[in-house]
Homo-oligomer: A and B are copies of this chain.
Amino acid sequence: MDTIKQITSIPLFQGLSQEYLQDLSAIVIEQVVKRGQGIFSEGDEGKGFYVAISGRVKIFKLSLEGKEQILHIFGPGEPFGEVPVFAGSPYPANAEALEKTHVFYFPREAFVDLIRKTPSLALNMLAVLSHRLHRFTALVEDLSLKEVPGRLAAYLFYLSDKQKGNDDLALEITKVQLSSLLGTIPETLSRILSKMTKEGIIATDIHGRIRIVDRKTLEKLAQGEIRLSKSSF
């Protein structure tokens, strides 16, 4: 495949001259990972970072008891694993493919050299990390200050925004994965989805599709202004 063309389409590398794109294609290492296969583990020494080209990757933490907290799910064009490149520390979390995924791997040294020569690349990377920090503040806020129904509501709005503001949403991930992303467990998620359905806030179609029925109430839930009623018999 045309590696340069693929690199050119990565948002992180927007605005780079042809010459530097060439440099990048010279240092990149292509890699294919199967569904369920790990890409790196927490504590591994980070010698470079990745960009997803196709497929999807989850970044996650594990507790001793095996509970998982998903930090991000990255798709085509999104970089991940950059922290060790600039902080000089090991990877702070684990990465695993959710499906068959193509990734580009950029070794640290060559990439840092390129950043030194290319202010716009440095600024692009600063923007990427800043966005990531922004998302983390939202995640911490959700985990610490919202209850699970509120987190779910917020996630549904995130999905709706991503899918051009539509009310009819494709979940894109399993409910097991969603529960891990929301910092809860499948049983709790299932109960809350059915409660929201009974209260007429959402409707669950087949195949995990969800339709937002009462956007106003869902909004109040996401803001923590209201709660689901205790028992909805």
Contacts and interface: CB of A to CB of B under 8 A. Distances in A.
Interface of A: 61-65, 67, 69, 71, 82-89, 92-93, 112, 115-117, 119-120, 122-123, 125-127, 129-134, 136-141, 143-146, 183, 223-225
Contact of A86 (B71, B120, B123): B123
Most buried by B among A61, A67, A120, A223: A61
Contact of A115 (B89, B122, B136): B122
A157 to B, nearest CB: 16
Contact of A61 (B69, B125, B145): B145
A86 B123 CA distance: 7
- Identical copies in the complex: 2
A127 B146 CA distance: 31
Nearest to A112: B123
Given A122-B126, A129-B126, A137 B82 contact: no
B129 A86 contact: yes
A147 to B, nearest CB: 10
Contacts of A62: 145
Contacts of A130: 82-87, 89, 129
Nearest to A68: B145
Contacts of A225: 64
Nearest 5 CB-CB pairs, A to B?
A87-B130, A122-B122, A63-B145, A86-B126, A136-B136
Contact of A119 (B61, B84, B122, B129): B122
Contacts of A84: 130
Nearest to A93: B137
Contact of A71 (B63, B69, B131, B140): B140
Nearest to A132: B133
A134 B224 contact: no
